[in-house]
Structure 1
Amino acid sequence: MTDLEAFGELHPVVQHHIINSLGWTGLRPLQAEAVEPVLRGDDALLIAPTAGGKTEAALFPLLTRMEHEQWAGLSVLYVCPLKALLNNLQPRVATYASWLGREAQARHGDTGAGDRKRQALHRPAILLTTPESLEAMLVSRLLDSAHMFGDVRTVVIDEVHAFAGDDRGWHLLAVLERLNALAGRQIQRVGLSATVGNPDSLIEWLQGGTHDRSRTVVAPPAPGAAAPDASLDYVGSVGNAAKVLSEMHLGEKRLVFADSRRTVESLAVNLRDREVDTYVSHSSLSVDERRRAEAAFAETRDCVIVSTSTLELGIDVGDLDRVVQIGAPSTVASVLQRLGRTGRRPGTSRNMTFLATEDEEFLRAAGLLLLMGDGFVEPVVAPPAPRQVAAQQLIGTALQKGRISIDDEAAWISRLGLASLEEALVIARWLVSTGHLDHDQGLAFIGPRAEQVYGRRNFMDLLAVFTAAPEVAVIHGRQEIGSVDPMVLISKIDGPRIIALAGRPWEVTHIDWRRKRVYVEPSERIGDSRWMGAPRAYSFELSDAVRRILLGATPSGATLTNRARSRLEVLREQYARRVRDDATVVVDEDGRVRWWTFAGSRANAVLTAAFEQVAPELLDQSRFGNLDVSLRSDATASAVSSALRAARHEAGDDLAGIVPLVTEQAVKKLKFAELLPPRMALMTLSARGADYRNATTISTRPVSASTL
């Protein structure tokens, strides 16, 4: 179908507004290619860079079907991972719906009671929401879920790759299965995504347990897309990064990413000290504070907004001139997503400048640029063994229906892949034994333990499969600025306690621990903040790319500054005895012995567990990182080789018999771990922390010895 033919398939009113309201002369390639499969009712995955017109590619044919097939009531769900993205999209989607006299509304945790009641009485044609809000509606006693969702025909999942990579994706698939039952049909699924390395696998996952429906991947090449302008600099500190930023690209709008909230705050304070017009966005700022910053940034030209990944996912902050990255993310996909925020205006190009503040960041950035030059993009892989989501769904369906047949619920949970049928039944028996479910005459229902643990606030804590770290709200006057980790408020200090938040320093005047609030006043002193975070895990591909960089590889299509080239030479000299092209290396570093695998933390977890099983005397407290495994001071390369041979002999050549160790502390961090039998919770985390394929690869490489 040609672009003109695709345009002709759209409803005449949609055609009219595309030309006269939007001022477009035609459809973009993705939009044209999406028309036929979406109109046909296929499950579809629509792939394009940021600002590639994915929302329109899904909605224009869906609005056409809505009118031609006379869909009534709530017929389209539009699911996003972030409330901010919902708020950003809702006016645009509402405009498109209004062309045909329809409504589009948003529903999430900040939606007021009045709006919720109106949505229940007068269902919009399109509802923009999150998976958590969808399940909240399913279990609500104030809402007739069968009436609310009985007419749903299609669900659009924006940023589907962001869901698929963690347990929120499994949660979403489970909620969609329950919506299928309410609607009495297989609801069409349309995923929108940036570039991914495994689109065919991703759409198959998106279909859930039903694979007999037609599915289509639409991913046209970007016509005439110029290579991005990527550069890498080494600046050595956040203060130096602020100095460089204050002097580069003056008069332009710059979006600066940093991959920790602490770095965001420190950089913003430094930039403001240098009189740079600076705004801040991250998840621990209040909604009002983020909105004010993002609105001000969108309306200003010569300015900087410093953000964590919260601004990575398509939220519109206006036309950008430059993207700057402090340090580096962990994936090529994130780099591409952030690059896509630029180059939207005619005559501009996609660009990103990496400013590394430390050696680890520098090597990670260089590795990502090397992978990007190779054309590599990570596959999006759902976490294995989501058994805790299976347990959560058993309680959720009991809340929704009142009484459930365990056999019936276990059947669809198994079909979806949350757990095997046997595992689902074991989980159900455990929930009954712990009082989370009660059981009578073959049916199960909510038990006293579930009421006690999750019943507060209408079971809201049960509806999210992710855990938010405990934080203390920061209040100035009557305004909430955001929140901080409690640890920043109890560390020993001399003098007044100064914290940094929203890019400004604040003096703590009072802490109300009972209400989890801290009261502050503006300060002129330097402040600091901190938040809890998990260690950064590298993939095998990124770890190996770092190895290749240290061996002399140079990223293609990227510019290294003189400082970066000098630092790279220093690092190559420092790592010269730790890295080889044909072997892994055991290095004695002044009595501290390390095995440099460059395998990534998940592969190193398997290798460490292998040593625990066959040669525990080699290990130094089972410590490992992304690039190396710590060994005892008397460990040798030959002993490592022997242990690897013994592990393959004992556990199989694929090391499948090795189970990585899991601490009780790690189990406590798994949301809903208490809903699983203890051994099952341990096995779930072990499966998620293991990369057997690449551990096997490393285990068969020669091991050499070196001394620093």
Structure 2
Amino acid sequence: MVLHHIVNTLQWPGLRAWQQAAIRPLLGGGDALLLAPTAGGKTEAAMFPLLSRMAAGSWQGTSLLYVCPLKALLNNLAPRLAGYAGWLGRAGAVWHGDVATSRRRAILRDRPDILLTTPESLESMLVSRTVDHRSFLGDVRAVVVDEVHAFAGDDRGWHLLAVLERLAVVAGRDLQRVGLSATVGNPAELLRWLQGSAAGRRPASLIAPDDRPTALDDRPTALDDRRPGARTEDGAAPPSAAPPGDVEVDYVGSVHNAAKVIGLLHRGAKRLVFCDSKKLVEELGQALRAAGVTTYLSHASLSADERRRSEQAFAESRDCVIVATSTLELGIDVGGLDHVIQINAPGTVASFLQRLGRTGRRPGSRRNCLFLTLDDDGLARAAALLLLWARNWVEPVVPPPEPRHIVAQQVLALTLQEGRVGDRLWASGWRGLPPFDRTAEPIVRYLADAGFLDVDDGMLFIGTEAQRRFGFRHFSDLLAVFTAAPQFTVFAGRQEIGSTDPALLSDQVDGPRLLLLAGRSWRVNHIDWNRRRCFVEPVDTTGGRARWLAAPSAGAGALSFPLMRAVRDVLLGADPPVKTTSRAAERLARLREEYLDRVHLGGTVIRRERTGDVHWWTWAGRRANATLIATLGDLADLRGRAADDQIRLRSDLTAASWRAATGDLAERLCLPEVDGEALAGLKFNAALPPRLAEATLAARLADLDGAAAVLSDPVRFVVR
């Protein structure tokens, strides 16, 4: 039946060879990780075999979950998946935080065969008093996790794994797990991670396109296969792995100049511009509109309606620009794009590949990306990232270490779900999956001792401290893994525009208070401090300000050891094999001259400035440098924080004292110090013993391997 509709409804001549390779393992009930570029057909490669399995097995009730990291992506996919389900007389539905209560009631009454949701909404169903989770979710047999790499690299991944294990307990069976991802550096590890407690006892397949012209056969691929096009554990790949495309680097020096270049280039075409901060999105959007360019904006602090209007208008237009943060990096469909433009550089090669993959989808077109760099750091990072890309290197996806705070959250959530849990049986809720197993006993004891859990006759119940800290609005705060920075909602009349940082509403200003939001300036008329609301009206001026302070988190914005070492390579003269404008080349030459005595091909440089300050230019990334500061002890100048490129040392340091003190440091590395501000960014840290909360954060702030690599390098001393 599915094959009939592929040929007759979609009018496809057939599936791609790699999609055919997914059929046998998925029909057989095995787990899988499907790897392909954006718009490579991953959704169809997963759904067509699973729909066939649903029909052949006469699955009843809500039997297939489709999990995404973004609500907008779910909304975007819903019509397509509903159409595929309709081929078999089946139905699909979306359930997330923006879905109305009336719609949720309808879903519970008339259960869809396919439910599109987020991990947070899935857990809300498990703990909700209005959802009979055993009845509603007890028929689930398979789960598709889209953009699985976006989960696995942070705490949402641990949360997802834990919720899937609890769901498997409710369903009374292993759930077939199928992950969809773009290129990653460690696919085999990512697949084993996705399998959770079933890793090693269920069949698992890695399936991806072969980048060579030869066909990929339809045999399931084992975990230890080394297919052409597959990356190895260290992120290396064959020469054909870097996708073809037109990539260029330019240096423009300011947001105003970037807007000028974008306005002049590719007129009549659809352009997607990526910025890595909401503030930069707003400033560039306003500059483009001032230059007469039809411009739309998308970022997380715009209201859902505002983003939806922008994305829909952009999808239906031709000669226009949409400026976005990483919200449009994932597979949200905004129509056929002509060009991708990157302001400065993303933080990872993987992000660049996602963004590059938004173009080149139409026959005869090529993938393309233009880097417009605003400053020296942006230029060096762009060149370094493209150097890594040219070397066929992609970051491995590594879950954050020691997620003890997520363990505490899950113990509380399971207790809320079941009402009561045996004080010796709680670990069965995750089927033995570490770290949610018996090794978490100290955390459970602390939860009981601190009043987060009550203990009575061998049973655990939600305690008064958990109700006090997390019980607001039906424990909604307990179900959100991240701490969000406080923001005020901005309204123009009754229309919600988005949200802004409260500091912009309390700073001293001369004249009217102007905000920059949705690409235009607004005058603040009234602030409701109790309800955290701000009421504005539009003004014809460009004087508005945009600002958002992120909640503190471990290592936020830190660059990796490989990327910083690539920056060093660029400063030493390495050029990525991409087009570079003459002004970018000239600026890079000046930058290399400026850093001539801070980089060294054979090792690192300790440089004494004329002021007497001493800096160690490690080019190792902030986490490795924080580890080095902790390890160096009084050799480091504790007044200076770790940067990505260097750390500050004691002003009286000499070459002799350095050599005498650092001979064995690589054998006794220390974790970084943890301050209270950083600890506050660790959600649920209050539900942990203080020493465990600090140990958790310290492990996340560290890069032991990077620090050891730096200490193994020779050191050159330079005196200015």
TM (norm. structure 2) is 0.93
Query: Is residue 253 of structure 2 the alignment partner of residue 265 of structure 1?
Result: no
- What is the match of residue 204 of structure 2? 215
For the Cα contact (< 8 Å) 2:297–2:322, is it kept in 1?
yes
SS at match of 1:195: coil
What is the one-letter code of the residue matched to 2:317?
T
- What is the match of residue 136 of structure 1? 124
| Offset at residue 417 of structure 1 (A) | 2.1
Residues 549 and 555 of structure 1: is their aligned pair in 2 closer, same or farther, counting only changes over 3 Å?
A: same
2:614 to 593, 598, 615: 593
1:395 to 412, 419, 440: 412
- What is the match of residue 697 of structure 1? 709
| Offset at residue 646 of structure 1 (A) | 4.3
Q: Give me the whole-angstrom Cα distance separating, in 1, the residues matched to 2:68 and 2:656.
A: 52
| Offset at residue 638 of structure 1 (A) | 4.0
Q: Give me the whole-angstrom Cα distance separating, in 2, the residues matched to 1:676 and 1:396.
A: 15
Cα RMSD of the aligned pairs, angstroms, is 1.4
- What is the match of residue 7 of structure 1? none
**What is the 5 A alignment of 1:304-383?**
304-383=321-400
What is the one-letter code of the residue matched to 1:663?
D
| Offset at residue 223 of structure 1 (A) | 5.7
What is the one-letter code of the residue matched to 1:636?
T
SS at match of 2:143: strand
What is the one-letter code of the residue matched to 1:254?
R
What is the one-letter code of the residue matched to 1:43?
D
Greater displacement, 52-61 / 404-413: 404-413
Residues 406 and 358 of structure 1: is their aligned pair in 2 closer, same or farther, counting only changes over 3 Å?
A: farther
Residues 490 and 699 of structure 1: is their aligned pair in 2 closer, same or farther, counting only changes over 3 Å?
A: same
2:31 to 43, 48, 57: 43
- What is the match of residue 446 of structure 1? 462
- What is the match of residue 6 of structure 1? none
Residues 640 and 283 of structure 1: is their aligned pair in 2 closer, same or farther, counting only changes over 3 Å?
A: farther
| Offset at residue 413 of structure 1 (A) | 5.2
Query: Is residue 90 of structure 2 the alignment partner of residue 102 of structure 1?
Result: yes
For the Cα contact (< 8 Å) 2:165–2:431, is it kept in 1?
no
| Offset at residue 140 of structure 1 (A) | 0.6
Greater displacement, 589-598 / 436-445: 589-598
**What is the 5 A alignment of 1:221-260?**
221-222=210-211, 227-260=244-277
| Offset at residue 30 of structure 1 (A) | 2.9
Residues 419 and 700 of structure 1: is their aligned pair in 2 closer, same or farther, counting only changes over 3 Å?
A: farther
For the Cα contact (< 8 Å) 2:420–2:460, is it kept in 1?
yes
What is the one-letter code of the residue matched to 2:343?
I
Query: Is residue 402 of structure 2 the alignment partner of residue 385 of structure 1?
Result: yes
Q: Give me the whole-angstrom Cα distance separating, in 2, the residues matched to 1:620 and 1:431.
A: 35
Residues 414 and 678 of structure 1: is their aligned pair in 2 closer, same or farther, counting only changes over 3 Å?
A: farther
Residues 640 and 625 of structure 1: is their aligned pair in 2 closer, same or farther, counting only changes over 3 Å?
A: farther
SS at match of 1:209: helix
SS at match of 1:602: helix
Extract unaligned runs of 5+ from structure 1. Answer: 1-12
- What is the match of residue 52 of structure 2? 64
- What is the match of residue 114 of structure 2? 126
| Offset at residue 696 of structure 1 (A) | 0.7
Could you report, residue by residue, the CA deviation over 1:517-537 in whole angstroms, capped at 9, with x for unpaired residues? Answer: 111111122211110136521
- What is the match of residue 486 of structure 1? 502
- What is the match of residue 172 of structure 1? 160
Q: Give me the whole-angstrom Cα distance separating, in 1, the residues matched to 2:626 and 2:415.
A: 37
| Offset at residue 637 of structure 1 (A) | 4.1
For the Cα contact (< 8 Å) 1:386–1:419, is it kept in 2?
no
For the Cα contact (< 8 Å) 1:30–1:48, is it kept in 2?
no
TM (norm. structure 1) is 0.95
- What is the match of residue 569 of structure 2? 548
Q: Give me the whole-angstrom Cα distance separating, in 1, the residues matched to 2:432 and 2:530.
A: 45
- What is the match of residue 576 of structure 1? 596
1:460 to 450, 459, 476: 476
Query: Is residue 647 of structure 2 the alignment partner of residue 629 of structure 1?
Result: yes
| Offset at residue 196 of structure 1 (A) | 0.4
SS at match of 1:315: coil
Residues 450 and 274 of structure 1: is their aligned pair in 2 closer, same or farther, counting only changes over 3 Å?
A: same
| Offset at residue 408 of structure 1 (A) | 2.1
Residues 315 and 638 of structure 1: is their aligned pair in 2 closer, same or farther, counting only changes over 3 Å?
A: farther
SS at match of 2:503: helix
For the Cα contact (< 8 Å) 2:666–2:712, is it kept in 1?
no
What is the one-letter code of the residue matched to 2:695?
M
- What is the match of residue 4 of structure 1? none
1:471 to 480, 487, 509: 487
For the Cα contact (< 8 Å) 1:260–1:308, is it kept in 2?
yes
- What is the match of residue 303 of structure 1? 320
Could you report, residue by residue, the CA deviation over 1:67-93 in whole angstroms, capped at 9, with x for unpaired residues? Answer: 011111111000000000000000100
For the Cα contact (< 8 Å) 2:275–2:323, is it kept in 1?
yes
Could you report, residue by residue, the CA deviation over 1:183-241 in whole angstroms, capped at 9, with x for unpaired residues? Answer: 11110100000000100000001111222111100012246696111111111111111
- What is the match of residue 519 of structure 2? 503
Extract unaligned runs of 5+ from structure 2. Answer: 214-239
| Offset at residue 113 of structure 1 (A) | 1.1
Q: Give me the whole-angstrom Cα distance separating, in 2, the residues matched to 1:320 and 1:604.
A: 40
Q: Give me the whole-angstrom Cα distance separating, in 2, the residues matched to 1:137 and 1:288.
A: 25
Q: Give me the whole-angstrom Cα distance separating, in 1, the residues matched to 2:433 and 2:623.
A: 25
SS at match of 1:208: helix
- What is the match of residue 404 of structure 1? 421
Query: Is residue 657 of structure 2 the alignment partner of residue 639 of structure 1?
Result: yes
For the Cα contact (< 8 Å) 2:169–2:429, is it kept in 1?
no
What is the one-letter code of the residue matched to 1:182?
V
For the Cα contact (< 8 Å) 2:166–2:429, is it kept in 1?
no
What is the one-letter code of the residue matched to 2:420?
R
What is the one-letter code of the residue matched to 2:454?
D
2:637 to 619, 624, 630: 619
| Offset at residue 414 of structure 1 (A) | 8.7
| Offset at residue 299 of structure 1 (A) | 0.5
Could you report, residue by residue, the CA deviation over 1:469-498 in whole angstroms, capped at 9, with x for unpaired residues? Answer: 110111101101000111112222211111
Q: Give me the whole-angstrom Cα distance separating, in 1, the residues matched to 2:288 and 2:545.
A: 15
Greater displacement, 491-500 / 277-286: 491-500
What is the one-letter code of the residue matched to 2:59?
W
Q: Give me the whole-angstrom Cα distance separating, in 2, the residues matched to 1:366 and 1:605.
A: 25
For the Cα contact (< 8 Å) 2:166–2:430, is it kept in 1?
no
For the Cα contact (< 8 Å) 1:506–1:523, is it kept in 2?
yes
| Offset at residue 622 of structure 1 (A) | 4.7
SS at match of 1:221: coil
Q: Give me the whole-angstrom Cα distance separating, in 2, the residues matched to 1:617 and 1:68.
A: 68
Greater displacement, 672-681 / 13-22: 13-22
What is the one-letter code of the residue matched to 2:608?
D
| Offset at residue 115 of structure 1 (A) | 1.4
